[in-house]
């Protein structure tokens, strides 16, 4: 057709990278281009989403703007490139088939919670997907847990086993349909099926039975959260003493009956990631006491798959929803695997025939400093990339030993695996190896080197040593602050405060109360906690009274210590030196009589923080230059004089914050980075940030990765 009256057509090629597949991007581009009467095509390639559009230059510019402004909600665009190319005189706009040749640099999308449209259909008796537990669309549904390879297309997912029926096929091929190229598209005729019924499962739960449910990222163990005896049974069978369980609530309204929910928390609960959000429980609820024990928080999530929606509609009471495993083991994903591994735990199984490719636990998030902070990064977040300011070398980082995650660096993106867990069991170490293979294969990634912790005995270090790749060893606490600095794009010198339970120091002792000034990847350890001995080494991690005995020994002398570790301390046998703030928390918690043991990592510290409650005081113990001796002496005096524990706890926390401010002022550096497991302590983090900010410092804390060892791999990549 002649276009003489119009300005000469031009052709633009736009490439988008990031999380752009499986979110309805192609139909969106198709609709936009068609609506604007532009011609050309859109293509999903393994290098990203490529669009070529032809038309008047002004229109093309407007197209670019609208592409950005109106793109699908679930998409994340990290790179956008545009170039002018020769006009081809195309007359239509088409969606081309995926090409599989180009370099793989497309983010695999995380699993997305059921959208409002699908939810409405699920409960609409007139809809053909009424009560169908596997409904989804381009805006929602499983992604990462069903994708075998990229590009993200049905034959590359576990849905390849299900042939689309004519009705589903039509939706799948119609660009105007919400299910256009929804890879897991399914219906009761052609899709996955439940093995068992919702009604039987709900009945079992009401009877107090333990149910193993095949969810999105693996099996979950469910139990009525109101029945203490049932909860106790679950704890005993799962070998989980006191670590709090998370709850799934039937609805936001029910969640509100049990917990205080701020607007930002509601947003998190209802987000596409649908994580477990740590909320303040209301008093007087019927949640059994042994669900969260003494924890100040209840971990709460909302139903995030159609199966969960159907079950929660039937139950209408809070359920414990915890990962389907025995403590320290990875979550079960396959039906036969679950049948063996969970048979001694669950009374009732509800499974289905849609295979899960990789395990993904529920993520855990909490508001800190008024923003979301991820404490466990898994379903809904993994494997989204974290974009950093500079290109990173193509390395594989294998993380730490506890709360392990692994990561790879591609250009400016660091892809962190889902939470793998503590590498204590053979099963966990196998899961760790699978996660490495998996991540590398998905991104066709060949690491040039492997980065691991300095600790010689971590399972991840052992793996690195056997990998045959060049090894880069990175100090644990430096990696912590590097991770936090990287995710916040910190430029220029900063003071890194790295506090945690234990990590291997550069001098062979156990660190955990460190300050570094960092500039151009040079780390100078400018301050640290006064060291003390850990009698029995690793045993002290679980038994906080050992740290207490040690500080007593040093402050008051041998006669003050009436315990089996006294000979060790006297002869300095089997005593490792540490600067760990986490262990100092243990010592103080023990001396106040709050906790003698950690039944899960960080329990004593959590109890001590919890004591503060709503108490506001500026009182603080002395902790000048990190010398805890005067602090311990005063804790003992306060305890003797019967000072209430909340005040002791406050004085202790405030002392730690004052010390941070002291070091910050002396350092002469304006930017402060707080990292390490100790900063899961909300009181400590928020008070430190507030005090530092009031003195003109810029404070960076974690948001996208956990402050605990789950964020270590990110720091390792950056430091390589």
* Binding region for Zn ion (CB under 5 A): 115, 118, 137, 139-140, 165, 168, 187, 189-190
Indicate the residue among 54 and 709 with the shorter CB distance to Fe ion: 709
Q: Which two tokens stand for residue 680?
A: 């899961």
Nearest one of 393, 465, 411, 404 to 430, comparing CA atoms:
404
Q: Which does 36 bind (CB under 5 to 8 A by kind): Zn ion, Fe ion, none?
A: none
Contact stretch for Fe ion (CB under 5 A) within 209-217, 354-362, 578-586, 708-716: 708-716
Residues in CB range of 358: below 8 A, 6 or more apart: 144, 145, 217, 333, 418, 434, 435, 438
Q: Residue 15 or 580: which CB sits closer to Fe ion? A: 580
Q: Quick one: 118 or 230, whose CB is closer to Zn ion?
A: 118
- Nearer of residues 165 and 645 to Zn ion, judged by Cβ: 165
Residue found by looking up tokens 């636990």 in the block: 361
Q: Which does 711 bind (CB under 5 to 8 A by kind): Zn ion, Fe ion, none?
A: none
Of 540, 594, 591, whose CA–CA distance to 564 is shortest? 540
Q: Long-range contacts made by residues 269-274, C-beta under 8 angstroms, separation at least 24?
A: 269/300, 269/301, 269/302, 270/302, 271/113, 271/380, 272/73, 272/74, 272/112, 272/113, 272/140, 272/380, 273/110, 273/112, 273/113, 273/363, 273/379, 273/380, 273/381, 274/113, 274/301, 274/302, 274/304, 274/380
* CB of 443 or CB of 515, closer to Fe ion: 515
Query: Minimum Å distance from CB 325 to Fe ion?
Result: 23
Choosing among Zn ion, Fe ion, none, which partner's interface includes residue 276 (Cβ < 5 to 8 Å by kind)? none
Which residue reads 């964020």 in tokens?
711
In the complex, the smallest distance separating the C-beta of residue 111 from Zn ion, rounded to whole angstroms, is 12
For residue 133, what are its two tokens? 């537990």
Q: How far is the CB of 168 from Zn ion (least distance, A)?
A: 3
**φ, ψ of residue 351 in degrees (nearest 5):** -120, 180
**Smallest gap from residue 132 Cβ to Zn ion (A):** 9
Structure tokens at 456: 């010689």
Name which of Fe ion, Zn ion, none residue 54 binds, using a CB cut-off of 5 to 8 Å depending on partner kind.
Answer: none
Tokens for 290, please give them.
Answer: 């042994």
Partner whose binding site includes residue 709, from Zn ion, Fe ion, none (CB under 5 to 8 Å by kind): Fe ion
Element of type H or E holding 502: strand 494-504
Nearer to Zn ion, 187 or 246 (CB): 187
Angle 705-706-707 (CA atoms, 0-180°, nearest 5)?
Answer: 120
CB of 196 to Zn ion, least distance (A): 21
By a kind-dependent CB cut-off of 5 to 8 A, residue 579 interacts, out of Zn ion, Fe ion, none, with none
Contact range with Fe ion by CB under 5 A, out of 54-62, 243-251, 417-425, 702-710: 702-710
Residue whose CB is less far from Fe ion, 245 or 499:
499
Q: How far apart are CA 495 and CA 481, in angstroms?
A: 9
Q: Is 709 in the site for Fe ion (CB under 5 A)?
A: yes
For Fe ion, give the closer residue by CB, 210 or 423.
Answer: 423
Angle, CA of 431, 437 and 441, to the nearest 5° = 140
Q: Residue count at the site for Fe ion (CB under 5 A)?
A: 3
- Are 247 and 225 in contact by the 8 Å Cβ rule? The answer is yes
b/e burial code for range 163-200 (CB count within 10 A of at least 16 → b): ebeeebeebbeebebbbbbbbbbbbbeebbebebebee
Q: Which two tokens stand for residue 510?
A: 């156990």
Tokens representing 228? 């203490």
Question: Using CA of residue 694, residue 699, residue 703, residue 708, what is the dihedral sign?
Answer: negative
Assess contact for 205 and 211: CB atoms under 8 A. yes
Report, in Å, the least distance between residue 161 CB and Fe ion.
42
Instruction: Quote the least distance from Cβ 630 to Fe ion, whole Å.
Output: 27
Binds 189: which of Fe ion, Zn ion, none (CB < 5-8 Å by kind):
Zn ion
User: Residue 115's binding partner, choosing from Fe ion, Zn ion, none, with beta-carbon cut-off 5 to 8 A by kind?
Assistant: Zn ion
Residue 500 contact partner, candidates Zn ion, Fe ion, none, CB within 5 to 8 A by sort of partner = Fe ion
Residue nearer to Zn ion on the CB measure, 140 or 287: 140
**Can you say whether the dihedral through the CA atoms of 331, 334, 339, 340 is positive or negative?**
negative
The interface partner of residue 165, options being Zn ion, Fe ion, none and the CB cut-off 5 to 8 Å by kind, is Zn ion
| Shortest Cβ 33–Zn ion spacing (Å) | 24
CB of 23 to Zn ion, least distance (A): 11
For Fe ion, the nearest residue by Cβ is 500
Q: Taking CB under 5 A as the rule, which mask of x and - marks residues 485-514 in contact with Fe ion?
A: ---------------x--x-----------
End-to-end CA distance of the chain: 58
* Partner touching 139 among Zn ion, Fe ion, none, CB below 5 to 8 Å by kind: Zn ion
CB of 424 to Fe ion, least distance (A): 16
Q: Which is nearer to Fe ion, 373 or 503 (CB)?
A: 503
Contact set with Fe ion (CB under 5 A): 500, 503, 709
């Amino acid at each position: 057709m002649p276009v003489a009256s119009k300005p000469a057509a031009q052709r633009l090629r736009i490439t988008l990278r990031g999380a752009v597949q499986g979110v309805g991007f192609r139909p969106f581009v198709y609709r936009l281009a068609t609506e604007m009467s532009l011609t050309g095509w859109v293509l999903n390639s393994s290098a990203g989403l490529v669009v070529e559009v032809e038309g008047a230059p002004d229109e093309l510019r407007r197209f670019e703007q609208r592409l950005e402004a109106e793109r699908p909600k679930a998409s994340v665009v990290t790179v956008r490139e545009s170039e002018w190319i020769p006009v081809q005189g195309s007359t239509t706009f088409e969606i081309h088939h995926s090409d599989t040749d180009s370099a793989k640099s497309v983010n695999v999308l995380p699993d997305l919670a059921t959208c409002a449209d699908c939810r409405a259909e699920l409960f609409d008796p007139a809809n053909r997907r009424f009560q169908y537990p596997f409904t989804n669309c381009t805006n929602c549904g499983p992604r990462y847990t069903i994708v075998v390879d990229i590009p993200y297309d049905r034959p590359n997912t576990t849905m390849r086993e299900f042939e689309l029926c004519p009705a589903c096929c039509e939706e799948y091929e119609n660009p105007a349909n919400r299910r256009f190229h929804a890879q897991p598209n399914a219906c009761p005729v052609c899709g996955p099926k439940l093995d068992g019924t919702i009604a039987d499962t709900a009945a079992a739960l009401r009877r107090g039975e333990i149910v193993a449910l095949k969810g999105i990222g693996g099996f979950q163990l469910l139990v009525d959260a109101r029945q203490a005896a049932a909860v106790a049974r679950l704890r005993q069978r799962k070998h989980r003493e006191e670590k709090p369980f998370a709850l799934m609530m039937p609805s936001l309204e029910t969640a509100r009956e049990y917990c205080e929910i701020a607007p930002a928390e509601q947003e998190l609960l209802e987000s596409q990631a649908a994580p477990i959000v740590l909320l303040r429980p209301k008093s007087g609820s019927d949640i059994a006491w042994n669900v969260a024990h003494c924890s100040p928080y209840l971990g709460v999530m909302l139903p995030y798959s159609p199966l969960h929606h159907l079950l929660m509609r039937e139950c209408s009471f809070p359920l414990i929803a915890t990962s389907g495993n025995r403590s320290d083991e990875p979550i079960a994903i396959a039906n036969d695997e679950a049948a063996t591994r969970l048979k001694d735990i669950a009374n009732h199984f509800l499974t289905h025939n849609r295979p899960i490719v990789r395990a993904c636990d529920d993520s855990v998030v909490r508001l800190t400093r008024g923003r979301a902070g991820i404490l466990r990064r898994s379903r809904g977040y993994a494997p989204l990339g974290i974009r950093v300011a500079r290109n990173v070398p193509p390395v594989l980082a294998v993380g730490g030993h506890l709360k392990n995650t692994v990561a790879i660096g591609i250009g400016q993106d660091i892809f962190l695996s889902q939470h793998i867990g503590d590498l204590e069991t053979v099963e966990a170490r196998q899961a760790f190896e699978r996660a490495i293979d998996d991540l590398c294969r998905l991104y066709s990634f060949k690491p040039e080197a492997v980065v691991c912790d300095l600790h010689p005995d971590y399972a991840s270090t052992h793996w690195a040593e056997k990998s045959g790749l060049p090894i880069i060893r990175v100090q644990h606490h430096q990696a912590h602050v590097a991770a936090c600095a990287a995710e916040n794009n910190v430029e220029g010198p900063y003071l890194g405060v790295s506090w945690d339970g234990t990590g291997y120091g550069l001098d062979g002792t156990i660190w955990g109360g460190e300050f570094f000034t960092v500039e151009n990847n040079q780390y100078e350890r400018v301050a640290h906690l006064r060291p003390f001995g850990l009698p029995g080494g690793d045993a002290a991690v679980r038994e906080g009274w050992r740290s207490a005995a040690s500080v007593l020994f040093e402050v008051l002398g041998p006669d003050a210590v009436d315990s089996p570790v006294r000979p060790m301390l006297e002869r300095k046998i089997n005593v490792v030196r540490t600067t760990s703030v986490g262990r100092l928390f243990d010592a103080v918690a023990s001396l106040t009589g709050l906790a003698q043991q950690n039944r899960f990592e960080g329990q004593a510290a959590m109890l001590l923080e919890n004591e503060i409650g709503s108490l506001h005081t500026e009182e603080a113990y002395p902790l000048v230059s990190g010398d805890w001796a005067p602090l311990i002496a005063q804790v003992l005096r306060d305890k003797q004089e019967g000072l209430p524990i909340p005040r002791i706890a406050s004085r202790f926390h405030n002392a730690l914050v004052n010390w941070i401010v002291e070091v910050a002022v002396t350092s002469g550096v304006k930017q402060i980075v707080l990292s390490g497991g100790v900063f899961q302590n909300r009181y400590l983090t928020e008070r430190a940030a507030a005090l530092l900010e009031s003195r003109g410092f810029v404070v960076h804390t974690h948001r996208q990765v956990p402050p605990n060892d789950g964020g270590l791999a990110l720091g390792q990549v950056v430091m390589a």
